[in-house]
Amino acid sequence: MIKILTEIIKRQLGDSDFDVRISENPERGHLSTNAAFVLAKEKKSSPMKIAEEVRSHLRKHAPTDFFEKIEIVEPGFVNIWLTDSAIKKEFRKIVTSKKWGKEGKKKETIIVEYSAPNIAKPMHVGHLRSTIIGDAVANTLEFLGYQAVRWNYIGDWGTQFGKLIVAYKLWGDKTKIKEDPLRAFGELYVKFHEEVKTHPELDKDGQEEFLKLEKGNKENRKLWIWFKKASLKEFAKVYDKLGVRFNTQIGESFFEKELDATIDLMVKAGIAKESEGALIVDLDDFGLPPAMARKSDGGTLYFTRDIANIHYRIKEYKPSEILYVVANEQTLHFSQIFATAQLLGFTGEEKGVKPIHVKFGLVLGEEGKKFSSREGRGIGLDEMLGASTDLAQKILEARKTGLKKKELKEVVKAVGLGAVKYNDLSQNRMSDIVFNWEKMLSFEGNSAPYLQYTYARLKSILRKAKRIPKLDTSILGESPDTAIVIKLAEFPSVLTRVKESYMPHYLANYLYELAKEINSFYQNEPVLSASSKLRGVRLNLVKASAETLKTGLTLLGIEAVERM
């Protein structure tokens, strides 16, 4: 119902950035909105005047018997009291819906590009963030009925492969590569960069080997295919562990054959100009530095491949949005891509496709420095997941859960992985996030284990109850019961907010609030021992809360376990 109210106000006043929230203080009603302030600013009018307009509009367009009263408070708050019958109706809607918050199929296709690691290199924490955030965003879009195309844009092309081929030919060790390909490749890169300091000619060799690869040289091609296969196999293991899947893994190399045509398009459109042998796109009008589409030696670039890529995506999928879940560090790159795409007429208002850089910050260690392992290099993903699961194991064993060995193992996995994911998803993705093991794995506070534990507790109540009676709202208790119903009613509008901002932390924080409320509810109010009618109402509340928690966790890519 919060979503309905938001939509009514939007219809009246346009798509501004206001919200309808649950009031923190019951003296200010069940809900309140800041719409009047936001709109007063935009329309340069007084908030009190707009608040009046909002009130009369709400009264006119909301379903009948919806508002107990709507109060306007200086300097422009609109506080809303709902009628008993509106709350009861909403409760019935929540309880009878197959899956609360889920929406029907929509026609729009949204491409969500995430993960996108580079082959022949271990994935780093940045790729992990992209994978976790992208997956949560794609899950939410699908839940809201959009067709999400999950795209892992593999970094499988570029001059670095020339270097790797040189290094392999000089120092490569087949058995080592077979044992642990990504580590072996990583070592070869390191060796190359060390050697190049004293043998600068190696750089040129690297360029030559890459050129040979580009021209289709058999030996190099074979090596490259091997590097790629071995890498993808390793990546698949990681995705398996994370429980993440993709619809396509088309990578940079795929666009090799489109590059001439892409450059042609740029030249024909008159946006690319020769400059000292290279081809440059001037982006002055966008306040951006020029982008290079072709190097003076004829080599193409990351930029050009991305232009070919966006062109292809629009042609093949006719998406309404293309999301690039990539670190902040590439902001300039994407600004240049989006500006060029607009100049080429691929995108723009009337084309109905919006490219969006869904950016995120760094991962910091506990001391606030860039996250790294003891040896100083970026910590590997495996290492991190391993550490988290080990810690989860210790904590769960100390808690004496009474779980059988097999189930405990599953729970350890869910908690270890959930902690890493939730730590990422509960923080605003734009900011650098801090890695704090203790907080991540704490059973109290804003953490995955806390939410998982809450879910398991609710399930235990439901198991004890055995049968959940059909909902009879005739005696829906006063607050705190009502407060939980309204909290549950907020869920769909939270999902909409995630969709509009591509920020999963709104969902994470909502789940945390819901968990806190339902926890204190069942600790303070009798559920199983309440009188029969109230017991029925409360069991239904507990059930709906458990289901909503599970839905939300699942959207975040986190498993809800039945016992813990």
The residue ranges that bind ligand ARG (CB under 6 A) are: 113, 116-118, 153, 155, 306, 324, 326
Nearer to ligand ARG, 134 or 449 (CB): 134
Count other Cβ atoms within 10 Å, centred on residue 14: 11
> 161 Cβ partners below 8 Å, 6+ apart?
120, 209, 210, 213, 224, 227
Q: How far is the CB of 378 from ligand ARG (least distance, A)?
A: 12
Q: How far is the CB of 374 from ligand ARG (least distance, A)?
A: 24
Q: How far is the CB of 124 from ligand ARG (least distance, A)?
A: 8
Nearer to ligand ARG, 185 or 521 (CB): 185
Q: What are phi and psi of 158, to 5 degrees?
A: 135, 165
Q: How far is the CB of 345 from ligand ARG (least distance, A)?
A: 20
CB 168 within 8 Å of CB 188: yes
Q: Which helix (H) or strand (E) holds 324?
A: strand 321-327
C-alpha–C-alpha distance, residues 118 and 410, integer Å = 31
- Judged by DSSP in three states, 483 sits in helix
- CB-based burial, 542-553: b 16+ in 10 Å, e otherwise: bbbbbbbbbbbb
Q: How far is the CB of 156 from ligand ARG (least distance, A)?
A: 9
CB 488 within 8 Å of CB 100: yes
Q: Which helix (H) or strand (E) holds 31?
A: strand 31-33
Q: How far is the CB of 530 from ligand ARG (least distance, A)?
A: 54
Q: How far is the CB of 275 from ligand ARG (least distance, A)?
A: 23
Nearer to ligand ARG, 336 or 493 (CB): 336
Nearer to ligand ARG, 337 or 553 (CB): 337
CB 561 within 8 Å of CB 411: yes
Task: Give the total residue count for the chain.
Answer: 564
CB 517 within 8 Å of CB 483: yes
Nearer to ligand ARG, 77 or 210 (CB): 210
Q: How far is the CB of 118 from ligand ARG (least distance, A)?
A: 5
CB 354 within 8 Å of CB 322: yes
**Among 295, 292, 314, CA closest to 303:** 292
Q: How far is the CB of 329 from ligand ARG (least distance, A)?
A: 8
**Among 455, 454, 482, CA closest to 541:** 482
Nearer to ligand ARG, 91 or 224 (CB): 224
Nearer to ligand ARG, 429 or 543 (CB): 429
Q: How far is the CB of 306 from ligand ARG (least distance, A)?
A: 5
Nearer to ligand ARG, 231 or 446 (CB): 231
How many CA atoms lie less than 13 Å away from 176 in the CB half-sphere?
11
Nearer to ligand ARG, 155 or 181 (CB): 155
| Residue with nearest beta carbon to ligand ARG | 155
Q: How far is the CB of 131 from ligand ARG (least distance, A)?
A: 11
150, β-bridge pairs:
112
Nearer to ligand ARG, 47 or 155 (CB): 155
Q: What are phi and psi of 327, to 5 degrees?
A: -55, 150
Amino acid at position 145, single letter: G
> 291 Cβ partners below 8 Å, 6+ apart?
280, 281, 283, 303, 336, 340
C-alpha–C-alpha distance, residues 423 and 509, integer Å = 11
C-alpha–C-alpha distance, residues 214 and 205, integer Å = 14
Residue 400 gets the label, from left (phi > 0), alpha (psi -120 to 50) or beta, of left
Q: How far is the CB of 324 from ligand ARG (least distance, A)?
A: 5
Nearer to ligand ARG, 130 or 446 (CB): 130
Nearer to ligand ARG, 213 or 310 (CB): 310
**Among 3, 310, 244, 248, CA closest to 144:** 3
